[in-house]
Structure 1
Amino acid sequence: MTGEPRSSSVEDYLKVIWTAGEWTGEPATTKAIADRLGISPSSVSQRVRRLVADGLARHESYGTVELTDEGAAVALQMVRRHRIIETFLVESLGYGWDEVHDEAEVLEHACSDRMIDALDAMLGHPTVDPHGDPIPKPGGIARTVDAVRGTDAAPGAWTVARVSDSDPEALRECARLGLVPGASIVILDPDPGGAVRCRIDGADASSIPPACASALWLVENR
């Protein structure tokens, strides 16, 4: 399929398959892809069969979905576009970090590589987007981060590495609490119901709601 035009739908599928395991390390399943895209598993299975036929993915019945080298290269190109656009919208156009995902979903298919590279240079070649997600370099090289989800973090000192952008309301609440990439957090103990008691940037102890704790990805301070 190299050299042939790709539909935005194909690009979206490849990006979702790649990002599904970016932070968890777990490969994508048709159910996870369906949940992320808001469509039926049967529709995903049909599309995945096409990706396999086009040499962009590998999939065995009832197994996980993996990208071929060609599929991963396309996925990383789209991830790079998406995250640079999000950064531009926040830093240059005054968007909130809870507003940029849907805009970037549209713009990433319309922008040329030349425009993305120009935005990247104008922004000073950022390494992460506003949510803390690494921005792949040209050519599809992605930085990995050893982090754990906030709900799985043991008591102790941590730094916020990333806040998932899947829930805009949780993003707004995290911003209100000061839970942004780079913030220091000391986890004390879990509260009943999934909340997490902690101190944020040295403030008094407070409870992080379950949705916010689940959105956080933390790196342990050593």
Structure 2
Amino acid sequence: MLSEVMEDYLKAIYRIQTRSGPPVSTSAIADALDKTPATVTSMVGTLAERGLVTREKYKGVELTAEGETVALEVIRHHRLLEAYLAEHLNYSWEEVHDEADALEHHISEEFERRVAELLDDPVVDPHGDPIPSADLSPIESEGTTPLTAHDVGDCVTVARVSDRSRDELAYLADAGITPGTELDIVDIAPFGMYTVRTASGDEQSLPASIAEAISVRPPGSEASSDEPGGVSDA
């Protein structure tokens, strides 16, 4: 049995490794988990002893096949729980992350199976992040870009939104900007404020910090079961 802390480390390493590629530095793990480098170094040693990561001196760590499977299982639990909380318990999308964090380590495989069946095997969670399949295959590359990578006149569809900040999620919910929303970029101010227009014709102003948290794809393209979204903070 692995501890909750070990699973959290593996999940964090998987997220970083997926975004930036291996090896993952100790400092990157420390930043992601708000831990000291010394604490991370100690835990990485434990994970290496358990065969869950490999270490390359002065470079960082990489998940083994076993470590990746554990990380994907925890991520699957987390995102299924988020979907269940939002769909059946009326949680808002800014509330589900913390609740899922508290529960993800404790559900059985039978509970996971029943939740997935109840939800008709969802592909993405409420934030648009992909839910790993039941066979825990690696998540495919998503092929999306940040909203901030686009220019005035571009039309895009929101693919996912980072769940790093409850305040940002509440702001976007109030603005009607959620996965699947089509946006036209109508203005980008010199100081980084993005003005977008939704399909309803409403215009919303988004600070650059929030625009960076929105991943988009070309309009009309949708995530498939093989390419369902992206890897965020879950």
TM-score computed with the length of structure 2 as normaliser? 0.86
1:193-222 per-position Cα deviation (integer Å, ceiling 9, x unaligned): 322122222524442122320210111237
- Which of 125, 142, 154 is 1:145 aligned to? 142
- The residue correspondences of 1:10-89 to structure 2 (distance < 5 A) are 10-22=6-18, 24-27=19-22, 28-89=24-85
TM-score computed with the length of structure 1 as normaliser? 0.90
Q: CA RMSD in A?
A: 1.8
Report % sequence identity.
39
* Alignment CA distance shift 1:86-1:180 (3 Å): same
Q: Which runs of 5+ in 2 are unaligned?
A: 221-234
The reply on whether 1:211 has 2:209 as its aligned counterpart is: yes
1:13-67 per-position Cα deviation (integer Å, ceiling 9, x unaligned): 1111112244x34444322322221221221122112212221112323424321
| Cα distance between partner residues in 2 of 1:72 and 1:190 | 40
Q: Which fold has the larger relative contact order, with Cα–Cα distance below 8 Å and residues 6 or more apart in sequence?
A: 2
**Per-residue deviation at 1:192?**
2.6
Contact map agreement 1:17 1:67 (CA 8 A) in 2: yes
| Cα distance between partner residues in 2 of 1:188 and 1:25 | 31
2:101 matched to which residue of 1? 105
| Cα distance between partner residues in 1 of 2:34 and 2:71 | 19
**Per-residue deviation at 1:12?**
0.8
How many residues were matched structurally?
Answer: 217
Q: Does 207-216 or 130-139 show the bigger shift?
A: 207-216
Q: Which runs of 5+ in 1 are unaligned?
A: none
What code does the residue aligned with 1:146 have?
G
Contact map agreement 1:134 1:144 (CA 8 A) in 2: no
| Cα distance between partner residues in 2 of 1:198 and 1:65 | 40
| Cα distance between partner residues in 1 of 2:107 and 2:166 | 24
| Cα distance between partner residues in 1 of 2:43 and 2:156 | 40
2:174 matched to which residue of 1? 176
What code does the residue aligned with 1:103 have?
E
* Alignment CA distance shift 1:113-1:176 (3 Å): same
Q: Does 11-20 or 120-129 show the bigger shift?
A: 11-20
| Cα distance between partner residues in 2 of 1:84 and 1:45 | 31
